[in-house]
Chains A and B, each alone.
Chain A
Amino acid sequence: MRKQAFAPAAAAAVLYLGLAWLRQAGFIGIYWGQIMDLALITTIQAVGLSLIYGFAGQFSLGHAAFYGLGAYVAAFVTRAFGGNTLTFALALAAGAATAGLVALLIGLPILRLRSDYLGIATLGFGIIVKVLLDNADKLSPVLGGARGMAGIPRLTTFHWVFWLAVLSVWLARNLVRSSHGRSCIAVREDEVAADIMGLDTTQFKTLAFVVGCAMAGLAGGLYAHLYSFLHPSSFDFLKSFDVLLVVVLGGLGSLTGTVVTAIGWVFLLEALRGVLGQQFLDWRGVVYALVLIVLMILRPQGLMGGREISLDGVLGRAAARGGAGRGAA
């Protein structure tokens, strides 16, 4: 292991042991444990969209569709082959692969569209997938259609979500720093210039889209096996906005911003439940929307504005600067 990879790996291991111990010893109860798992699943999903939009500059409003595809495919696999560690791993892989494959098929034609037009096309794709999920019981009664899919084995544990989240962030970081990643950033900054410089822009846009959507599919598989019940309404276009909010609030082109915001956002919503109590169900949407508007007006460039937090920076050395702060579109 090279030296610069050692510190983050050690930090992840320490964090893992610490959190696992807190949960084992009962300091983090079942309820907050589940919120933590959900926050990590959201992180995986958001890191995927961060690659697509934050780094490659492709405005996608259909992220929840790939999340849903991954969830349903993974759940279908464990329902069909039984729930054990091996089938669970296979199910997650199948969910991620399906989402990635569909992203490749839909991405090749529609990634030719620019900015808002791409957003609307992916939004339309998201609605098509939602309609298909609503009618999925015609394909196989197990999928449940509009009634939802029940009886999925509860296989998602803290160990799975933690290490898969670490893996996703690590993959994304390496991709972003590779020459492919720098090409993606070039496409984001100026697609015409990147094209003229001889980059195959379609290739890099598709690469980011497929990898990002596969991560959404992986997150979907984890989600399905965390709650053991799936409903098409969990994957409508409003859910795509949720992820987009996290990525933009975190700061486009900042992976650590995405991670911190994803976790913070999930916990903020739970904190609202605590503060608002019984009134929560009525007021949650209002407060959520207000927080969003105020945050956006105060910090339109996102919380991190394209900068990264690094271990070096935290330890007092010069903070590393990530990609440029200005996002696309």
Chain B
Amino acid sequence: MEHLLEQTLNGLQLGFVYALIAVGYTMVYGIIKLINFAHGDVFMVGAFLAYFGFTSWGLPWPVAVLVSMAGCAVLGVGIERLAYRPLRARGAPRIAALITAIGVSLFIEYFTSLNFVFGSDYRNVPRVLPDRRWELGGITVTNVQLLVLVTVLVLVASLQFVVYRTRVGKAMRAVAQDTDAARLMGIDVDRIIACTFALGSALAAAAGALFAVAYPQIHPFMGIMPGLKAFTAAVLGGIGSIPGALLGALVMGQVEVLTAAYVTTDFRDAIAFALLILVLLLRPTGLLGKTAPEKV
């Protein structure tokens, strides 16, 4: 029983990290209907920037994370500006944008693998917090777990605030609902899309930094699997919906950790994706997704 609770806690930690990446996917998808494959790589860059901030530049950890979030926000806006906006301006088919996103993802991975950038070696992240653990009713809770849970809760709450209580957030929701109508109402759509990328990328950077604390080994290809799983989580929850992304991420984290603990580590990824296919078959738009009526 204690073991199960501890595993649930581990699953919660992983699910919370997925959640931070998943909201970025879901927001971008909600607005421009693009699977931004480069998002997982922004997550990776976030982990590296926080790592360098902490080790090479000697910044305190929280400051290193903030610097990394700012850096990735710029990176996200840059990707949007250079790779996606030209395609949008030409009214290119959606598949062209998707292929470009794959190209951007590969570019970031291989470019950062070059020796004069991050290099292709695995790096060990030094301990950020002193090793503390508490016994709570028979289960062990670590300070890393608390750090992850609290940081993610704070960030998601701030995101809720931005999306539902500010003008930019209102504009984002308007653009997501109907881009053309929003443009007619005087909203600068390109600027709102850039804001969405900045916000999503900053959250992905925070996720990368937390991931590096919780699973302390980083390398340029580390973003692929978490990125894919986070996107899957967003689809699982119903893409375009922020609560859906959170729910999907929590389910994904639990399934992954519980399969590894009680079934087999070998088939962990297979079971997570089999679950996704099953859910899609039963609810084709995800757990919290709205079923749009068929337009003829």
A residues adjacent to B (C-beta < 8 A): 59, 109-110, 112-114, 116-117, 119-121, 123-125, 127-128, 131-132, 134-135, 192-193, 196, 237, 241, 244-245, 248-249, 252, 282-286, 288-290, 292-293, 296-297, 300-301, 326-327, 329
How far is the CB of B221 from the nearest CB of chain A, in Å? 10
Contact of B267 among A124, A131, A301 (CB under 8 A): A131
How far is the CB of A206 from the nearest CB of chain B, in Å? 15
Inter-chain contact B270/A132, CB cutoff 8 Å: yes
Inter-chain contact B273/A116, CB cutoff 8 Å: no
- Report the bound CA distance from A289 to B100 in whole Å: 9
Contacts A113-B280, A124-B273 known; A326 to B110 CB distance under 8 Å? Answer: no
The reply to whether the CB of B83 lies closer than 8 angstroms to some CB of chain A is yes
- Report the bound CA distance from A290 to B100 in whole Å: 9
- Report the bound CA distance from A113 to B295 in whole Å: 16
Interface size class of B (residues with CB under 8 A): 35 or more
Contacts A131-B269, A297-B87 known; A244 to B99 CB distance under 8 Å? Answer: yes
| Further contacts, 8 of them, CB under 8 A, given A119-B35, A125-B273 | A114-B284, A116-B33, A117-B285, A123-B273, A128-B269, A245-B99, A296-B100, A329-B95
The A contact surface, by secondary structure, is helix
Inter-chain contact A134/B96, CB cutoff 8 Å: no
Inter-chain contact B277/A292, CB cutoff 8 Å: no
Query: 0/1 per residue, B109-145, Cβ < 8 Å to A?
Result: 1110111000000000000000000000000000000
Chain B residues positioned under 8 Å from A292 (CB to CB): 99-100, 102-103, 106
How far is the CB of A34 from the nearest CB of chain B, in Å? 25
The reply to whether the CB of B193 lies closer than 8 angstroms to some CB of chain A is no
Q: Ordered nearest first, which 9 A-B pairs have the shortest CB separation?
A: A285-B110, A300-B92, A124-B273, A300-B96, A289-B107, A292-B103, A131-B270, A289-B106, A293-B103
Inter-chain contact B270/A329, CB cutoff 8 Å: no
The reply to whether the CB of B2 lies closer than 8 angstroms to some CB of chain A is no
- Report the bound CA distance from A286 to B296 in whole Å: 43
User: Looking at B87, B102, B109, which has the most chain A CB atoms within 10 Å of its CB?
Assistant: B102
- Report the bound CA distance from A124 to B276 in whole Å: 8
Identity of the chain A residue whose Cβ is nearest the Cβ of B115 in the assembled complex: A282
